[in-house]
Chains A and B, each alone.
Chain A
Amino acid sequence: DAGVIQSPRHEVTEMGQEVTLRCKPISGHNSLFWYRQTMMRGLELLIYFNNNVPIDDSGMPEDRFSAKMPNASFSTLKIQPSEPRDSAVYFCASAFMAVVRNEQFFGPGTRLTVL
């Protein structure tokens, strides 16, 4: 299995631009998670989906952030407009069922830099 796939691996953009991060979960997994990692705040859960439905988006910072999962094999996290404070590494993870005892499999992350 290829594991969780994220693209792009690196993104540099200017303040005010729209940014779209993409994720392909492991085939057969029906739960998907988006995390943000920064030095100051550590690893934060932004949103998670179960069977393509958003279950908990309480971690989404503000309305500039949105996430979609149109099908079981694809999800996007969009930031519009982007700001320098959004600079971070964004991870996507998937799991077989959003059961708390299950392991989450993480992608390699997208390093976002907003100038």
Chain B
Amino acid sequence: AQSVTQLDSQVPVFEEAPVELRCNYSSSVSVYLFWYVQYPNQGLQLLLKYLSGSTLVKGINGFEAEFNKSQTSFHLRKPSVHISDTAEYFCAVSERRKVFGQGTRLTINP
């Protein structure tokens, strides 16, 4: 059965520092992988997705993620964060249906 594990529930970083949010998944077949972002008091929005092809996926707001099949990971990265990136980030895997991770709360300190 498919599952998603987000290894960090909270990640505090300083503004303009790089950040990596970790996501590991388990699945018995090929999957599609997603990162969504949830700003305070809003619904989730798609940041990026991996369907096939290049393992490095670029998304909106300067985020990117790398699909690593051997490590069953799909970590999200940004080289320099901004205060406006403060949000909760959800990794999701789709095999038969989409399953979301527990979320990682990213807080940016000035």
* A and B associate: yes
A interface residue numbers (CB < 8 A to B)? 4, 42-43, 45, 48, 56, 91, 93, 100-101, 103-104, 106-109
B interface residue count range (under 10 / 10 to 19 / 20 to 34 / 35 or more): 20 to 34
Q: Does B71 contact A (CB under 8 A)?
A: no
Shortest beta-carbon distance from A64 to chain B in Å: 23
- In the bound complex, do residue B32 and residue A109 qualify as a contact, i.e. CB atoms below 8 Å apart? no
- In the bound complex, do residue B32 and residue A43 qualify as a contact, i.e. CB atoms below 8 Å apart? no
Name the residue among A48, A56, A100 with the largest chain B CB count within 10 angstroms: A100
Known contacts A56-B97, A101-B32, A104-B98; A43/B43 CB under 8 A? no
Known contacts A4-B43, A91-B44, A106-B43; A42/B101 CB under 8 A? yes
A42: chain B residues at CB < 8 Å are 100-103
- Of all chain B residues, which has the CB nearest A43? B100
- Of all chain A residues, which has the CB nearest B95? A100
> Which stretch (B18-26, B45-53, B62-70, B73-81) binds chain A?
B45-53
Please report the C-alpha to C-alpha distance between residue A96 and residue B45 in the assembled complex, in whole angstroms: 15
B34: chain A residues at CB < 8 Å are 103
Please report the C-alpha to C-alpha distance between residue A45 and residue B41 in the assembled complex, in whole angstroms: 19
Please report the C-alpha to C-alpha distance between residue A103 and residue B103 in the assembled complex, in whole angstroms: 18
Shortest beta-carbon distance from A11 to chain B in Å: 15
B98: chain A residues at CB < 8 Å are 45, 100, 104
Please report the C-alpha to C-alpha distance between residue A24 and residue B67 in the assembled complex, in whole angstroms: 34
Q: Mark B75-110, 1 if CB is under 8 A from A, else 0.
A: 000000000000000100011111111110000000
Pairs across A and B, CB under 8 Å, 12 listed: A42-B101, A45-B99, A48-B97, A91-B43, A100-B96, A100-B97, A101-B32, A101-B49, A104-B44, A104-B46, A106-B44, A107-B43
